[in-house]
Structures are given as C-alpha cells and as structure tokens.
Amino acid sequence: MNPLPAAVAEAIGCRWGVETTRDRRQSRVWRVAIGGGAYAKQHATVGKYRRERDALRALGGCPFVPALVAHHDDIRLLVVEACPGDWPDDAQAWHRAGEALAELHRMPCAADPMALPDAIARRRDGWLARAEGVLPDGTRAALAARVDGAVFRGAARVFCHRDYAPRNWRVGADGVFRVFDFEHAGPDAAEVDLVRLYDGPLEGRPGREAAFFAGYGGRPDRARLAALLALHALGTATWGRLHGDRAYAARGDRLIERALASRAP
C-alpha cells in the first residue's frame, strides 16, 4: 500500500490507502476505507477540482452518480463514494449508458453568457492559433471550414459530463450503471458528450450505437456532431505535437483524416 500524503490523511482521517492514480499530471487518487468504500482524489488544479466538486454537489442523490462524501477546498481534495463493478460492454450496458446520459442532459443547467455558436467559434479559433506552425496551413484551413459555429444556432446548453466514455463507467453487481470523474463537467452542447464515444468505442459499431441511442431516446444532430469531431481532431493533433506525444498526435491525424473525408456519424 502507498501512504497517503500527510495533509490528505489528516483531512479524511485515514493513514493508509492504495493508490490508483491513472495520470499524476491531473490528480492523485487513493482507495480508502471509509463507509462502504471511497476514493480520495486530490486535483492538481483548482479549476478541475471546483468543476468536479460543483458537479457532484448538483447531482447529489442521482442514483448513477457516486455521492460526495467530503471535500476540502484548501488542498483540492474530494472524497467520493466508490463505484464497484466493471464494464461488461454488452447491449444492456450500452442502453443504460444512453439512459444515464439522457438524464444528465435533463439536469438543471447554469446559464452561460456566451451563445453556443460564438463559444464553438471561439474554441475553434483558439486551437487554430495554437496549431499555427504546427499543422500544415491547408489542414488548418480545411478543419476551420468544418467547424462551423452557425450549426449551433438555436441549440441550448445542457449539463454535460464532457468525458463520457467507458473508462468512466461501471456496472455493479446490483446491475446499476454508474458514471464518475466529473472534473470536465459543465454546460455545453449535448453532442459534446458523444465526441469521446465516436473517437473509439462507437466508431463502426452499429450494435453499440443502436443500444446506446435507444437508451438515450434519439440520435444526435449530425451537423453539430461533425463540427465537434473536427474540432476534437484539430485539438488532439495539435496538443499531441505541442507536448511531444507521438501516440496522441497520431490519433489526432487519424481523426483529421476522418473529419476531412466527411466520414462523420
């Protein structure tokens, strides 16, 4: 077992915990023996800590979201109920994932002063600026044309997880679907929560798609999803190059190829 840092141990009253951290650049996580089991998660940044804390507060009582046991603002620490189980990757589980996302999207959502068309255009322009000298000019221009903020006219923001993917899901022995890791959560276009799914687990898998959207209760807006996938491709390829991550850059290149070929879902 790995010892908890002194400040964390003091805050939650536990001396030991098994570390289960996935990426130390983002946070550190320990399994701790509190109640029926919990995780202590110490965020590296205030922004992600506050987003996850506020999301878990807002979703308190939701049957598929772990309870927030405690939080400690001074050390950016959350103590969150454990989500036991695994991801069975069958039609029933995908149906439940769709149902849960639909319920998340129906949750009360804070208003945002920037209209979605303007927000999407701003994200696009930010990534285009970062990609200057990193991606070929022709690629940047082609992607820019595919990220059209105008297709979001009339769309309202909903409560989004913004990293909705199987790595953040569990189905317990009780059959209950649960979703965790809300550090990216916030008001956004509903199709944002489909981007990670079409960057892998739903791509070319019609059976999974059918089960998921049967649970969700409808199909996404194709134009909005295509724009967000192109934006995701731009950001992934650029970030990978700027950070020297060859695998991430290669993934971005694959996504760019798909976006420019108009092979959107």
Q: What is the CATH number of the domain that holds 186?
A: 3.90.1200.10
Shared domain check, 127 and 16: no
CATH of the domain at 75: 3.30.200.20
Confidence of residue 233 (pLDDT cuts 50, 70, 90): very high
* DSSP code string of 63-95: TTS--EEEEEGGGTEEEEE---SB---SHHHHH
Q: What is the mean pLDDT of the chain?
A: 92
- Inside any domain, residue 51: yes
| Domain total in the chain | 2
Domain holding 151, by residue range, is: 91-260
Shared domain check, 225 and 144: yes
Shared domain check, 185 and 62: no
119 contacts: CB under 8 Å, gap ≥ 6: 112, 149
Read off the pLDDT of residues 31-87 as tens digits, 9 standing for 90 and up. Answer: 998 877 899 999 999 999 999 999 999 999 899 999 999 999 999 999 999 998 999
Confidence of residue 174 (pLDDT cuts 50, 70, 90): confident
Residue after which a domain boundary falls, among 57, 81, 105: 81
Shared domain check, 140 and 224: yes
Residue after which a domain boundary falls, among 81, 99, 121: 81
Residue after which a domain boundary falls, among 12, 46, 81: 81
- Inside any domain, residue 139: yes
Q: Residue 210 in 3-state DSSP?
A: helix
Shared domain check, 213 and 113: yes
Confidence of residue 12 (pLDDT cuts 50, 70, 90): confident
Shared domain check, 256 and 137: yes
Shared domain check, 127 and 230: yes
User: Is the CB of residue 56 less than 8 Å from the CB of residue 43?
Assistant: no
Shared domain check, 150 and 20: no
Q: Residue 58 in 3-state DSSP?
A: helix
- Inside any domain, residue 145: yes
- Inside any domain, residue 105: yes
Shared domain check, 111 and 73: no
215 contacts: CB under 8 Å, gap ≥ 6: 94, 95, 96, 97, 98, 99, 100, 101, 102
Give the C-alpha separation, 117 to 233, whole Å.
Answer: 19
Read off the pLDDT of residues 121-170 as tens digits, 9 standing for 90 and up. Answer: 999 999 999 999 999 999 999 999 999 999 999 999 999 999 999 999 99
- Inside any domain, residue 133: yes
Instruction: Enter the pTM of the model.
Output: 0.90
- Inside any domain, residue 265: no
Give the C-alpha separation, 46 to 133, whole Å.
Answer: 31
- Inside any domain, residue 167: yes
pLDDT above 80: residue 264: no
Shared domain check, 222 and 124: yes
Shared domain check, 128 and 248: yes
Shared domain check, 255 and 150: yes
- Inside any domain, residue 86: no
